[in-house]
Structure 1
Amino acid sequence: MSLNLSNYELLWPASLFVSEGECILRSTGSWQERAVWLLTEALAGTTAIADFQDLPDHTAPPSDPWATTDAGWGTRRAVMGRHDWFTELIARAHELRHAATPRPYWPQRRGNGPTRDGGSTRDARRDFARLISDFDGSGYLAEVFGEVCVDDRTQLPDASRVIERRLGIPALWPLAPETWDEDTFFGLIEVFHDLVSRPRNRRFHSWNSCGWHHSEFHNGPARILYRDKVNKLLREAGIEYELAAEGEDLGRLVAVTDDARSALVHRALNDSAPDVTTRVRHAVALFRGRDTTRESKRSAIVTLAGILEERRALLKDNLGKDEGALFEIANRYDLRHRKAEQRGDYDEAFLDWIFWWYLGTVELTNRLIASRDC
C-alpha cells in the first residue's frame, strides 16, 4: 500500500521537514506525540494528522488477536501502520506540494484590496509582528521568555529586558510595530533569529484551561524556519535584504543577490580549507552586510586577493601567464597597496565586479586543488 500525497501541502522547507521527521524516527518514547506536533506545524490543515491517527499502531497489541482477516484466523491485517506511514511520508517529502498563497479574491481583483503602493501599502512591520506572534504561540520563544503555568508561580523573565540586552532599546515587548523606525524593525528581525528555538515536544495541561507546554528545544531547526518565513515576508514587501543562511553574518540582514551568486557564496564557504574558510567568511560578511561601505568592500577584495596570492603558482600552472591579470587590477587600482600612482577614480560598481570575480576565482582554485588531490 503506497501513500497518497495528493491531499497534503507543506508549509515548511522540505529539507527541514525531513530532518525533523528523521529525528522523530530515531527517538524513543512518545514518538507519536512528536509526529503529530510536526504534522501540525509543517503541513497545512489537519488532513495528515487525521490520516495518521486513523491508522493502527502496530507497536501495540491488537484488541482482538483472533479476529478474522482475509488471510485466515488470528493473522494480522495487511494495513499500513502509523510508523510505516510516517516513515514513507518523510522519505517522499520532496514530492509534496508547497502550500501556495490563495489566488486574489474579489476585492483584490477589483482593485479595492491591499496594494504595495499608495496609502494602503502593505505594512511589513505588522506582518512581521504577526509572524512573531505565530512563533510565540507555537512555543518557539518559551525557552527564553518562559511559559505561564497555573501550577508554577516562578517569576518569568522580562521579555522586554531580554530584547533590550541584545538591541539596546527598551520597551519593545509586547511588539508595537506602529512605533518602530527602520533600524528598530531590522534590528528586531535579527534579534528574534537568535531567540527562536523549536520545541520538538509538547503536552496539554488541562487543569484550569492552562494550555500547551513545550519542551525539548532546538534552535537550529527554528532558525532555518524563521529565515525561510522572514525572507519570504521581505521579498513580498519589496525589501531588498534577506537573512544570511551561512557565513560569518549568519542570521544578519544582507543584500539580496541572484541565485547564481548565492550558490557561489555557498560553494566558496563550504569547499575551502579551514584556514581559507575563515577568511572567505570574513570577506563575504564585509561585502554583503546591510551597513557595508566602499571601504568595507575594498577590504573584502583585499582579503580575497591575499588568498589568490597564496595560490598564484597553482593559477600560473593552469592559466599560464594570464594569471598576472588577476593581480594587475588589485595592484594598479586603489585597492591593495594604496600608492599615490594608483587609480581611485572608479565607480563603486567596479568593486562589486572585482569582488565576484575574485570570489569565483577562489572557488575555481578550490576545485583545482580538489582535483589535484584525487
Structure 2
Amino acid sequence: MGATRRGQPGWSGSVQRVIRCDTRLVASYYSQRLGRGPLANPSLQDVARVLTLAVNEMQRLEYLQEWFGKDCVDNPDDLGKSAMPLVDYIEVETGRRNAWPIAEDFGPKLAEEFEPSLQPWEDELFDLMEFFFLHVSAGVTGDFHNYNGCGWHYEVFDPGPARQRFRDRLNRTLSSYGDGFRLSNEGRVERTAETGLDELLDTPIRTKDPAIAERVAGAVALFRNRNRSPDDLRNAVRNTFDALEKMRPEIKVHMMKGDEGALFEIANKYTVRHLDAKQRGEYDSALWHSWMFYVNLSTIHLMTRTISREDARR
C-alpha cells in the first residue's frame, strides 16, 4: 500500500485536541521522607538517568514535535522548527557536541579518569535540562494521520503543560541531589530553599520602590545561584540589609524599638556589611548567613505589606 497524503485516505480533517496532563505527583514517597531509598541521596548518574527517562516520555507524548518534527512516511524530512536533527541543534544552542543521548557511563566514570570533580558533567546535565525545557510543547490542534499508526500532526502548540510535566519529572530527584536543586518555572536550574521556604523566595515583594525591589531580586538571584560561593551568600544577605535600611524610617514606626535595634545590630556587628576589625567573623557563615537571609527576607515581606496596607488606608 502506498503512502497517503492529506486529503487522501488515511488523513482525517483538522480537529482540536485538548491536552490534559495530570502532573500531580507525590512530593516524596515513604523511604525518601525517611532519608532512605534511591531518591534520598541521588548520584549524578541517577540525575542523568532521570533526565533520559523524562526526555523519552516527552518524545512518546509528541512534546518534541514542534521543534524536531515527526517521523512520518509521508514527510520523512520533517525536522520541525529547528530545521536540523536534535543532536545538532543541541550543539548549536549549547556548544556541546554529541551530548544526546546521554552515555550510560556518563559522569562518575569519566570524572574519575579525566577530571578532579564532577562539576563539568553536572554543568552539562543542567544545560540539557534547560535546553529541553525550552523545546517541549503539547500539541493543541492539527490533523490525525491513521496510516501505519502515524498519529497526530500538530499545527498549534502550547508549551505550558509540557514544561510543567517535564519539571515535575525532574524536580523530585533534583530536590535531593547535592544541596538541593530545582528546575524553576522559567526553566533555570537553581538552588532550592530549606523545606517549606521556596514560596518565600518566589513571592514578589509588594513595593513601589524600585530600589527595594532591585535589592531583593538581586539577593534572591544570588541565593538561588547553583554555583553560589560563600561571598555570593554574604552579598545576598547584604542586599537584604540594604533593602531594610531603605525602609528603616517605616521599620522604626511599625516595629518595637528593641526589635528594630537588634535587626541592624546583626547587620553592623557581623561580617556582612563591613569587614573591619570590629566585626565578628568567628561563626559558621554558611549556616548563619542563610538564617540571616531568611529572617531579613521575611521581615521585608512583613514591612512592605504593612506599608502597603497603611497607604491603602490613607
Shift of 1:170: 0.8
The amino acid of 1:365's aligned partner reads M
Task: Report what 1:359 is aligned to.
Answer: 297
Taking the TM superposition and a 5 Å limit, the aligned residue runs for 1:311-322 are 311-322=247-258
Distance 2:215 2:161 in 1: 27
> Which secondary structure state, in structure 2, belongs to the residue aligned with residue 204 of structure 1?
strand
Distance in 2 (alpha carbons) for counterparts of 1:178 and 1:203: 40
**Aligned to 2:68, which of 145, 152, 158?**
145
Secondary structure of 1:130 counterpart: helix
Q: Map Cα deviations across residues 251-281 of structure 1 (whole Å, 9 max, x no partner).
A: 223135212x1222233x2534472434322
Which residue number corresponds to residue 143 of structure 2? 203
Return the TM-score normalized by structure 1.
0.62
In the other structure, the counterpart of 1:77 is none
Residue 327 of structure 1: how far off its partner (Å): 1.7
- Can you list the C-alpha shifts for 1:99-135, whole angstroms capped at 9, x where unaligned? 779x99xxxxxxxxxx639xxx993422321211111
Corresponding residue number in structure 2 for 1:161? 88
Letter in 2 for 1:220: G
Structure with bigger gyration radius: 1
| Alpha carbons of structure 1 residues 236 and 295: separation in structure 2 relative to 1, 3 Å | closer
SS at match of 1:215: strand
Q: Which amino acid aligns with 2:288?
A: F
Q: Does 1:280 align with 2:211?
A: no
SS at match of 2:255: helix
The equivalent residue for 1:332 is: 269
* Aligned pair partner of 1:368 in 303, 306, 310: 306
| Superposed CA offset, 1:174-224 (max 9, x none) | 343533443322332232222222322343223465432223223333322
Identity among equivalent positions (%) equals 33
For the Cα contact (< 8 Å) 2:191–2:223, is it kept in 1?
no
Higher relative contact order (CA 8 A, sep 6+): 2
May I ask how many residue pairs the two structures share in their alignment?
269
Give the secondary structure class of the aligned counterpart of 2:157: strand
TM-score normalized by the length of structure 2: 0.73
8 Å contact 2:14–2:144 — kept in the other structure? Answer: no
Distance 1:365 1:177, change over 3 A: farther
> Which residue type is aligned with residue 291 of structure 1?
N
Residue 331 of structure 1: how far off its partner (Å)? 1.6
2:38 matched residue in structure 1: 116
- The match for 1:303 among 223, 239, 263 is 239
| Aligned counterpart for 2:54 among listed residues 131, 144, 155 | 131
| Shift, 1:282, TM fit | 2.1
Alignment-derived partner of residue 162 in structure 2: 222
Instruction: Tell me how far apart the structure 2 counterparts of residues 289 and 324 of structure 1 sit (CA, whole Å).
Output: 31
- Aligned partners of 1:266 and 1:351: how far apart in 2? 19
Cα distance in 2 for residues equivalent to 1:308 and 1:99:
38
CA distance in 2, matches of 1:179, 1:328: 49
* Match runs of 1:197-276 below 5 Å: 197-207=137-147, 209-235=149-175, 240-245=180-185, 251-259=188-196, 261-267=197-203, 269=204, 271-273=206-208, 275=210, 276=212
- Counterpart CA distance in 2 for 1:258 and 1:42 is 24
Deviation at 1:311, TM superposition (A): 0.5
Q: Is the partner of 1:242 in helix, strand or coil?
A: strand
Kept in 2, the 8 Å contact 1:244–1:254? The answer is: no
RMSD: 3.2
Give the 3-state SS of the residue equivalent to 2:276 in structure 1.
Answer: coil
Q: Hey, what's the Cα distance between the residues in 2 that align with 1:303 and 1:99?
A: 36
- Can you give the 5+ residue segments of structure 1 that lack an aligned partner in the other structure? 1-28, 44-97, 105-114
Unpaired runs of 5+ residues, structure 2, are 1-12, 31-36, 108-120
Instruction: Compute the displacement of 1:318 (Å).
Output: 1.1
**Contact 1:163–1:191 (CA under 8 A) maintained in structure 2:** yes
Query: 1:93: which partner in 2?
Result: none
